[in-house]
Structure 1
Amino acid sequence: MKIAFDCSLVPGEAGGIGQYSRNLARALSKIDSENSYTLYILFPAFRRLTHPEDRKVDLPNAGNFRVVFKGIPVPFQFFRYLQGPGLPRSFREYGLGDIDADVVHSNTFCVPRFRDRKKKLIVTVYDLTVLTHPECHRKANIRHCLDGIKDAIKYADAIVAISESTKADLIKYLDAPPGLITVTHLAAGDDLRPVEDIEVLKSARLKYSLPERYVLFVGSNEPRKNIKTLLEAYALLPAGIKNEFPLVIAGGRGWLNSAIPGVIKRLGLDGAVRFAGYIGRDDMSAVYSGASVFAYPSLYEGFGLPILEAMSCGAPVITSNVSSMPEVAGDAARLVTPTDTGGLGEALSALLVDEGLRKEMRLKGLERAAMFSWGKCARETLALYRKVAG
């Protein structure tokens, strides 16, 4: 069987989709030496505008796995025109035209439509927040993602949902046939584990200007991640706790976040909140391990991968009681209503003042994270490839 696997969002500062594609490709390479895989990265000319080192990707590229960069060599302005409404479908097969595949696994909401009816299409859908929380997205992103999800329901031979929550949303909001959808849970990367080496922890703190003890948030700075409520809840803590445990916000630049500096100033948190920026993959274990508490009060998630990442590194977790987050966290995290500022503040306080509780949550988190693995996700995905290919 010949499989084309979409890794277009792996290069550069990989977010959730990039991490999913990277980890699943690596896991598949460990369990499948029989089938051939083309890991394709579409439109690198576009990515290069943001990430000059877009060809440096940590993907399997030997034996039955090969990495292929496919792009359209046109000016950026014309490329943006090609991305406009009504046109993308005409070009989505361009990059795949010379890739021989029995199964194509699309991961980026750009759902190809094939003239070759023998090619089978699998599409991964992460969440439906463009419908549940449209105010958290730019209009262009809503159109792009919603078109892609609707195309997946219409044209795909199978859909992968990354949680039962996402599957339920596909059925509820878009009337997707339940039999079309297979759920495969994600996992923290195999490289994420507790770091106890003092020098390694110190090196990460120096690199990202982190304090010795801190409350950590990891994620893109965008409205859905609910950073404003996190700031307001953190502001409720006594001055002594804030002095001992500054709040560190780490992650990509995000969008629709211009109000955040004003919120910090209004709350009098200048100096208490630090923005670490994007954390390199090699440093993630140390940054998570150094956190006294990991706070992730997202409004809505398709999965919530940072929850498992933090647990894998031994950080006690506070997260939301909505969408997929209880499904992922189980009883190993403190669950709060994401819009309840007071409740979130109380959860932060309870953990920060009680070292014994933090140790208890740390152990529960490590046990919970161990229940998820990329090996299991890869086996379930490979079974779906075989089923679809017949």
Structure 2
Amino acid sequence: MRIGFDISQTGSGKAGCGYFAHALAQAMIEVAPQHDYSLYPSFGDFYFDPSMPTRNPYPGRSVSYGPCHATREAAQSFWARAEVEASLGAPDIIHSNNFWSPLQIASSRLIYTFYDLGFVVDPAWTTEANRLGCFDGVFRSAISADWVVAISEASRAHYLATFPHFPEQRIRVIYPCSRFADSSALGKRPKALAGISEGRFWLSVGTIEPRKNQRRMAEAYAQYLAAGGVDMPLVLAGGKGWLMEDFQSHLKELGVQDRVFMTGYVSDDELIWLYRHCYANLYSSLFEGFGLPVLEGMQFGAATLASTSSSIPEVTGDAAILISPTDTEGWAQSMVRLAANREKRDALSVAAVEQSKKFDWKRSAGDLLKLYEEALASPKRHSMV
């Protein structure tokens, strides 16, 4: 097969969507080197990283790169062309991974990765520009994609509920997996946490933004301390997102600003250390397409308290304590009980490692390659109408 694959979000600052595309590309190249892979450093007009692919190359004899563009305007012009498919060499597969979806693909099978519709569930969770760009891409996929890859059963159900005209048999769940190949890695302590004892802090990983629910998590932490919970600091590990400019003021109002440590964006090594040495990983997100920090924490033995929302129970199975993301008191009391029960905490840690083994990139890559083969053996979707 000649596979055209969008890697536009896999640069050095990648988040969840970028990790999904990055790991799938690596795994496919490894398990099926007989195919030709053309990786697209730019894809569409929504997301643009001029440093790609120089910051994140993909080795392999069967790997080449599609067109690179120096400016967003050049990328927009290229991907808007009617003859873009021919300019790409008419690959068998064109796979979009960054929300944008082309409309003019006549022969190649267009595969679209669908992450989530959080920006529709609550518009206040993101900016207007991001909301419009994401919805435009998802809507275009509902018109033009031949197949859709959903990253969870919850996302698949939401897509079909939103776009009921899309053929149900042409949307397939392929789970993300951890970015970390070595489960024995020890990691490296972040410099910002030099004075914090191993095993004596709560951890919450995620970009600081409304959907990740750090505001309510801070409130739960304040209630936990007020209820006499063991005095362990709360570490928030994640880069600055949007619409949370008043978060530091919120911490001061709660009286916990001296007990909440914000690391900012952390390296992979630092994240591994945090997962290994936290007392428990707290993930209270209001809505997820998957919930990668939950899985990655479990891989390194983090006892887990997680949200009941959307896809997260698919990730945790029975290996976590699940709490409604809006139940602030429930979070506080669960933390109080777990802090006082080391045996329960250690049992959750063991269960977490076992649950994480159910997710494997090579398996996911194999499932994706089977989908590609099925897509090639099936007619284009527009020919079915």
- TM, length-normalised to structure 2: 0.89
Alignment counterpart, residue 68 of structure 2, candidates 67, 70, 88 = 70
> What value does the CA root-mean-square deviation take over the aligned residues?
2.6
Aligned twin of 2:380: none
Where 2:80 maps in the other structure, the secondary structure is helix
Structure 1 position 60, deviation (Å) = 2.8
Alignment gaps of 5+ in structure 2: 378-385
Percent identity of paired positions between Structure 1 and Structure 2: 31
Distance across 1 between alignment mates of 2:16 and 2:333: 29
2:127 corresponds to? 138
Q: CA deviation at 1:46?
A: 4.4
Residue 322 (1) aligns with residue 304 (2): no
Q: Answer yes or no: is 1:108 the counterpart of 2:95.
A: no
Task: Specify whether residues 310 and 210 from structure 1 end up closer, same or farther in structure 2 by C-alpha distance, changes over 3 A only.
Answer: farther
Q: Which residue of 1 aligns with 2:326?
A: 339
1:211 matched to 2:196: yes
Corresponding position of 1:47:
49
Instruction: Confirm or deny: 8 A CA contact 2:8 2:48 kept in the other structure.
Output: no
- Write out aligned runs for 1:183-262 (5 A): 183-191=173-181, 193=183, 195=185, 203-206=188-191, 209=194, 211-212=196-197, 213-238=200-225, 244-262=231-249
CA contact (8 A) 1:61 1:67 kept: no
Q: How far off is 1:137 after superposition?
A: 1.4
Q: State whether residues 221 and 255 of structure 1, in contact with CA within 8 Å, keep that contact through their aligned partners in structure 2.
A: yes
* Distance in 1 (alpha carbons) for counterparts of 2:244 and 2:284: 16
Separation in 1 of the partners of 2:309 and 2:26? 30
2:356 equivalent to 1:357: no
Report how far residue 47 of structure 1 moved.
Answer: 2.4
Q: CA deviation at 1:69?
A: 5.7
Instruction: Call closer, same or farther: CA 1:4–1:231 in 2, change over 3 Å.
Output: same
TM-score, normalised via structure 1 length: 0.88
Q: How many residue pairs align between the two structures?
A: 372
For residues 92 and 281 of structure 1, the distance between their equivalents in structure 2, rounded to whole angstroms, comes to: 41
The answer for the alignment partner of 1:118 in structure 2 is 107
Give the Cα separation in 1 of the matches to 2:62 and 2:110.
20
Give runs of aligned pairs for residues 57-96 of structure 1, distance below 5 A. Answer: 57=56, 59-68=57-66, 70-71=68-69, 73-74=70-71, 90=80
1:239 CA drift (Å): 6.4
SS at match of 1:382: helix
Pairwise CA distance, 1:349: 1.6
Match of residue 163, structure 1, among 126, 131, 152: 152
CA deviations 1:328-354 (Å, max 9, x no partner) are 111101100100100011112222222
Cα distance in 1 for residues equivalent to 2:228 and 2:178: 30
Q: Distance in 1 between matches of 2:283 and 2:369?
A: 31
Instruction: Tell me: CA distance 1:91–1:211, structure 2 relative to 1, closer, same or farther (3 Å).
Output: farther
- Deviations along 1:283-333, one digit per CA (max 9) or x if unpaired, are 322221111110000001111011100000100111111210111111101
Quick one: distance in 2 between partners of 1:328 and 1:235? Answer: 28
